[in-house]
Structure 1
Amino acid sequence: MTSDFRHQCITPPYLLERALRSDDREVRQAALNTMLTTAHLRGERAVRAAFPGVATPGNARRTIYDCRNTTSLPFAVLARSEDGPESTDASVNRAFDMLGKTRDFFQQVFARNSIDGHGMRLNGYVHYGHEFANAFWDGREMVFGDGDGRLFSDLTGSISVIAHELGHGVTEHTTGLEYHNQSGALNESMSDVFGAMVEQWTLGQTAEQADWLIGREVFTPQIEADALRSMKAPGHAWNTEKYGKDPQPDHMSKYVNMPDTYEGDWGAVHYNSGIPNKAFYLTAATIGGYSWEAAGLIWFEALKASNSETRFQEFADTTYRKAGELYEAGSAEQMAVLGAWQEVGISITGVSAGLARARNRTAGRNGDATAAVRALTAQVQELSRDVAALKGRVTAGG
């Protein structure tokens, strides 16, 4: 089963289900409206998948439409075009600007011409539905709800959300990771990776300066310091009396098994994406500097080298291999990748698990994970220098 039949929405089903149990009648109603609309979308997407269209080339031109709080995309009205004037509608302008920033990121950082690599037009639809607490990529366009003002505010308000959804399009046009189980969790994780990188690139933030939160501007706007997800600390993005606690795991020992259904989050794709998310954060933080440079390049090249059914182990192995190809075997970048995956419970195939034990001894049982990976990198680099020096003495001695 492929992602062709599934809208990739920013709001995980478990959040809406919890909102349905809220003692706030308006929150319950907004969650119900969102779930009913999402169910309608699943049927609509299945019909559209039976008549596949071709992505429209157009030099990555942006066009924003206003749904006027209906769920009919064909009857949405033109609100702003690439060459048109600025709108008086803030949602229209935010969507337009952030689609542009995401487009520019892929062009300038990865030399990619729009979502499909061939100048695909970027169409966005705002004011979708009534209090629709979601945003999604449906394979052709971006769609934004206004939120209910309590669980979510206007979904155009977060660049990490917008870049996340457009990231699904990039994945669809590279490997087409199937949207269920581990491949689906990787699909979700890659979108979070893209979302974080685009935001950090826009703000000029280093990996150390960034907060690594996805959707903090639009999720529970009345509650500060929370977000939909934390790549730095999966499972700790939010913890409220009303909505419970963030259920994302950060290690394979906490892997979540659920049915491959909508109610089961297609095999827990929004849950288990926390594991590769943490691996990317650790890699970027250990290497240092900007996340979109070494770490982002490694992840993007690994994505392109994957296939539709790639699982965590295969992807981890590919990132390790790509790091070696891009930055040499045994480089600090490759060791950062190795240590990051080991930290989330995935050992690189063919690499001694003793490296992980050495890292743990160096950092201490309760040591900081990033410091532990740095220590491992330093150990391997020192070993490489010793080997090089030994070879030099042997050569000099004839």
Structure 2
Amino acid sequence: MCNHPWHNRIRTIYCILPPHMLKEIAKNGTPQQRVQAIDTLSTDHTFRQLRSVHSALLAAKPSVSVSPVPAVPSAHRSIYTAKNTETLPGTLVRAEGAPKSNDVCVDEAYDGLGATFEFYLEIFHRNSIDDAGMALTGTVHYGDQYDNAFWNSQQMVFGDGDGTLFNRFTISLDVIGHELTHGVTEHTAGLAYSGQPGALNESVSDVFGSLIKQYTLKQTADKADWLIGEGLLAKGVKGVALRSMKEPGTAYDDPVLGKDPQPADMRHYVQTTQDNHGVHINSGIPNRAFCLAALDIGGYAWEKAGRIWYETLNDSHIKPNTNFKAFAKLTVSNANRLYGASSAEAKAVSKAWNTVGVL
């Protein structure tokens, strides 16, 4: 397993809504939507700056002792409300084992954190995000109609959405799984959040976010929608989700949100300095590769395709600067090791990367 010391990792704020989408809203939306998008972009930028300073302070401190891992892994969830402020974590409203509240956001967050914990434990025998029983914390009702959700290396944070473009951000289980998987990547591969490594970071979160949803619904690969953020777009928005893993570039085409810019293969790779050099855009390429491999292998995608990707995430050969080609070769190597070089699984993985032009 490729474990990097916590104080040496580069940490960031991982938001589900990419900057390019918010910038389209700021350009095309109503006056209120434009103000809201600019406020969200400003809040996200401020958080990144604060987190950078906090990370530097942490790096200067000596490492602290770690509490022993409980003998029997179990979820430890705490859901808070920010009461539409930007104070974290806020007021505790539901702790582990407490009954349902009368707040749908609280209960969706609680259930989503639980589903993610259960998936990693049951499928990969991973004890929470850090594989050491990390408590899972979520804050709902963050900000005033805040159009985003994010993982800040410590907890999940959910906005309520503005109601005209986006619904509440607790509504999509795959979004919750996506954001928490950024934490898993931090504790395993440590993929740098820029360029191709950053796009792989985003793709890994999409992959496992989708698998968590599929596992919860007990869907085979051919029955899954392969969408990220299905249900998040408000009524009247021309689109079905934030991203499509099966058909990158087709998730939305809306006068306010713009058109989904994700490429489906390397021939259409987007060279840009925005969005950390396109981490949310070019992730469509490895996303499609995983989807193609999973569909080709068949059955439950988490059982074989998911196993191959998880083993790759934990491969000792993966580095923070790993690019698409190096990652693809590692997935083929792990498929060979797990199932045999001439196996249908290994051939499916190799074929998928060839189809998207990476290998």
Written as runs of structure 1 = structure 2, the 5 A alignment for 1:183-198 is 183-198=197-212
SS state at 2:230 partner: coil
1:328 corresponds to which letter in structure 2? G
Cα deviation 1:117-155 (Å, max 9, x = unaligned): 010000001111111111111001001111111221110
Q: Please name the residue that 2:115 is paired with.
A: 101
1:106 corresponds to which letter in structure 2? Y
Q: What's the offset of the Cα at 1:66?
A: 0.5
Q: Please name the residue that 1:113 is paired with.
A: 127
Q: Please name the residue that 1:335 is paired with.
A: 347
C-alpha distance in 1 between matches for 2:294 and 2:280: 21
Q: What's the offset of the Cα at 1:224?
A: 6.5
Cα deviation 1:239-277 (Å, max 9, x = unaligned): 122322100011111111122xxxx10010001100000
Q: Please name the residue that 1:26 is paired with.
A: 32
Cα deviation 1:34-65 (Å, max 9, x = unaligned): 11111110121112212338787674300001
Q: Please name the residue that 1:319 is paired with.
A: 331
1:197 corresponds to which letter in structure 2? L
2:267 corresponds to which letter in structure 1? S
**Bigger mean CA deviation after superposition, 156-165 or 243-252:** 243-252
C-alpha distance in 2 between matches for 1:177 and 1:283: 22
SS state at 1:290 partner: coil
SS state at 2:157 partner: strand
Q: Please name the residue that 1:256 is paired with.
A: 270
Q: What's the offset of the Cα at 1:330?
A: 1.0
1:291 corresponds to which letter in structure 2? A
Q: What's the offset of the Cα at 1:181?
A: 0.5
Q: What's the offset of the Cα at 1:5?
A: 4.5
1:220 corresponds to which letter in structure 2? A
Alignment partner for residue 168 of structure 2, among 146, 149, 154? 154
C-alpha distance in 2 between matches for 1:168 and 1:73: 19
Query: Contact 1:5/1:42 (CA < 8 Å) preserved in 2?
Result: no
Query: Contact 1:179/1:185 (CA < 8 Å) preserved in 2?
Result: yes
1:271 corresponds to which letter in structure 2? I
Is 2:94 the partner of 1:80? yes
Q: Please name the residue that 1:134 is paired with.
A: 148
The structure-2 alpha-carbon separation of the partners of 1:274 and 1:148, relative to structure 1 and needing over 3 Å to count, comes to same
Q: TM-score, normalised by structure 2?
A: 0.91
Query: Contact 2:151/2:157 (CA < 8 Å) preserved in 1?
Result: yes
C-alpha distance in 1 between matches for 2:302 and 2:294: 8
Is 2:294 the partner of 1:279? no
2:84 corresponds to which letter in structure 1? N
Query: Contact 1:3/1:177 (CA < 8 Å) preserved in 2?
Result: no
Compute the RMSD of aligned alpha carbons: 1.6
Query: Contact 1:4/1:139 (CA < 8 Å) preserved in 2?
Result: no
1:156 corresponds to which letter in structure 2? T
Is 2:358 the partner of 1:346? yes
C-alpha distance in 1 between matches for 2:185 and 2:11: 15
Written as runs of structure 1 = structure 2, the 5 A alignment for 1:170-189 is 170-189=184-203
Is 2:236 the partner of 1:226? no
Query: Contact 2:151/2:179 (CA < 8 Å) preserved in 1?
Result: yes
Q: What's the offset of the Cα at 1:83?
A: 2.9
Is 2:58 the partner of 1:48? no
Is 2:35 the partner of 1:17? no
Q: What is the aligned length?
A: 341
Query: Contact 2:137/2:155 (CA < 8 Å) preserved in 1?
Result: yes
SS state at 2:281 partner: helix
| Unaligned runs of at least 5 residues, structure 2 | 1-7
- Choose 1 or 2 for highest CA Rg: 1
C-alpha distance in 2 between matches for 1:334 and 1:41: 42
Query: Contact 2:221/2:299 (CA < 8 Å) preserved in 1?
Result: yes
C-alpha distance in 2 between matches for 1:334 and 1:23: 46
Q: What's the offset of the Cα at 1:3?
A: 7.1
The structure-2 alpha-carbon separation of the partners of 1:23 and 1:294, relative to structure 1 and needing over 3 Å to count, comes to closer
Q: What's the offset of the Cα at 1:173?
A: 0.6
2:337 corresponds to which letter in structure 1? E
C-alpha distance in 1 between matches for 2:288 and 2:220: 17
C-alpha distance in 2 between matches for 1:336 and 1:48: 43
**Bigger mean CA deviation after superposition, 317-326 or 81-90:** 81-90
**Bigger mean CA deviation after superposition, 56-65 or 151-160:** 56-65
Is 2:45 the partner of 1:39? yes
C-alpha distance in 2 between matches for 1:5 and 1:203: 32
C-alpha distance in 1 between matches for 2:202 and 2:327: 14
Cα deviation 1:279-317 (Å, max 9, x = unaligned): 000000000011101100001101111221111000000
Query: Contact 2:238/2:253 (CA < 8 Å) preserved in 1?
Result: no
2:38 corresponds to which letter in structure 1? L
Alignment partner for residue 303 of structure 1, among 313, 320, 345? 313
Q: What's the offset of the Cα at 1:88?
A: 1.6
C-alpha distance in 2 between matches for 1:87 and 1:44: 32
C-alpha distance in 2 between matches for 1:284 and 1:40: 38
1:43 corresponds to which letter in structure 2? Q
Q: What's the offset of the Cα at 1:115?
A: 0.4
C-alpha distance in 1 between matches for 2:131 and 2:303: 19
1:200 corresponds to which letter in structure 2? Q
Alignment partner for residue 67 of structure 1, among 82, 85, 92? 82
Q: Please name the residue that 1:392 is paired with.
A: none
Cα deviation 1:330-367 (Å, max 9, x = unaligned): 100000001000000022xxxxxxxxxxxxxxxxxxxx
Of all paired residues, the percent bearing the same amino acid is 48
C-alpha distance in 1 between matches for 2:91 and 2:236: 31
SS state at 1:309 partner: coil
| Unaligned runs of at least 5 residues, structure 1 | 348-398
C-alpha distance in 1 between matches for 2:195 and 2:309: 20
SS state at 1:299 partner: helix
1:293 corresponds to which letter in structure 2? E
Q: What's the offset of the Cα at 1:23?
A: 4.1
Q: TM-score, normalised by structure 1?
A: 0.83
